[in-house]
């Protein structure tokens, strides 16, 4: 099986699939959000001139995961000085534990660094240890409505 990464700009027909994954994983409990709103936001980011980009992992021809690079992420109003952010890292349950998530994070991080950013950030409430195993370092932690949030950074070697 072959794993490859495309952008939503390459495959805009996958917008609703990616929006559904993100909605179900992180936003379904919030009444002010919907799959349609997320798809619209993803599309607006896709055509903007910002650093924003969303990637889709394809296993052969099947979409199995996503990750995005954003100038700012939801929990980052606390740290508007930090940019860019890797966000919405998701792998479908049946494709987990195959290294796809790690490759998505690496791909998104490399994209941000190719845009001139030596340091890239992310936040997580439940996968801090996993990211630290990938070389991310804790910046700070704080309590939020989502629980304990860990902000991490990844710095290029150069």
Domains and CATH numbers, the chain: 3-155 (3.40.630.30)
Q: What is the pLDDT of residues 71-119, one digit of tens each?
A: 887 656 778 889 999 999 999 999 999 999 999 999 999 999 999 999 9
Q: For position 49, what pLDDT does the model report?
A: 60
Strands 137-144 and 147-155: antiparallel
Greater confidence, 71 or 155? 155
Greater confidence, 107 or 12? 107
The tokens for 125 are 């409430």
Average pLDDT over residues 142-154: 89
The tokens for 16 are 């609703």
* Residue 120 contacts residue 20 (beta carbons within 8 Å): no
The tokens for 153 are 């950074």
């Amino acid at each position: 099986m072959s794993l490859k990464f495309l952008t939503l700009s390459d495959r805009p027909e996958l917008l609703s699939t990616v929006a559904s994954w993100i909605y179900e994983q992180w936003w379904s409990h919030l009444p002010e959000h919907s799959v349609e709103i997320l798809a619209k936001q993803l599309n607006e980011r896709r055509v903007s001139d910002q650093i924003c980009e969303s990637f889709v992992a394809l296993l052969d021809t099947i979409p199995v995961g996503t990750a995005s690079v954003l100038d700012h992420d939801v929990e980052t109003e606390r740290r508007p000085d930090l940019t860019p952010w890797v966000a919405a890292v998701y792998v479908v349950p049946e494709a987990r534990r195959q290294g796809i998530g790690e490759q998505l994070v690496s791909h998104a991080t490399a994209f941000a660094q190719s845009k001139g950013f030596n340091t890239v950030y992310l936040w997580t409430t439940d996968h801090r240890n996993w990211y630290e195993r990938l070389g991310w370092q804790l910046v700070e932690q704080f309590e939020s409505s989502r629980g304990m949030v860990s902000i991490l950074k990844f710095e290029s070697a150069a």
